[in-house]
């Protein structure tokens, strides 16, 4: 029998998302603020899946009143929640080693706006 997680994931999350959160709780020593960030990440993941289900069913565009194709609102919901999910998971820092900073270091003569 596998050990039970110290915390239970919220019931409003999908079953797979709750299982993911509880597995993370077992695998890592998470502080309360990390747990809360991961709950938010789980909510974002579920929202992505919800938007994806709609987009798979009805497509990514609709025709406006002039007959011009427009992106469905679910496209933005999916995009925005993917971004937030990635940022929240990165913020928790579950990776054992941090990747190098991709930004170019500023030189001694750097002046903003120049």
pLDDT tens across 49-103, in order?
Answer: 999 999 999 999 999 999 999 999 999 999 999 999 999 999 999 875 656 667 7
Give the Cα separation of 61 and 47 in Å (integer): 19
- The closest of 93, 83, 88 to 36, measured between CA atoms, is 88
Q: Read off the pLDDT of residues 1-55 as tens digits, 9 standing for 90 and up.
A: 456 667 999 999 999 999 999 999 999 989 999 999 999 999 999 999 999 999 9
Domain ranges of the chain: 29-92
């Amino acid at each position: 029998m596998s050990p039970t997680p110290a915390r239970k994931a919220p019931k409003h999350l999908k079953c797979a998302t709750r299982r993911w959160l509880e597995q993370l709780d077992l695998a890592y020593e998470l502080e309360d603020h990390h747990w809360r960030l991961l709950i938010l990440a789980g909510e974002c993941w579920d929202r992505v899946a919800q938007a994806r289900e709609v987009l798979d069913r009805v497509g990514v565009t609709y025709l406006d009143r002039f007959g011009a194709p427009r992106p469905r609102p679910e496209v933005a919901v999916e995009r925005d929640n993917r971004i937030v999910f990635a940022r929240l998971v990165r913020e928790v820092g579950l990776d054992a080693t941090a990747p190098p900073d991709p930004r170019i270091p500023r030189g001694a003569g750097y002046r903003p706006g120049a």
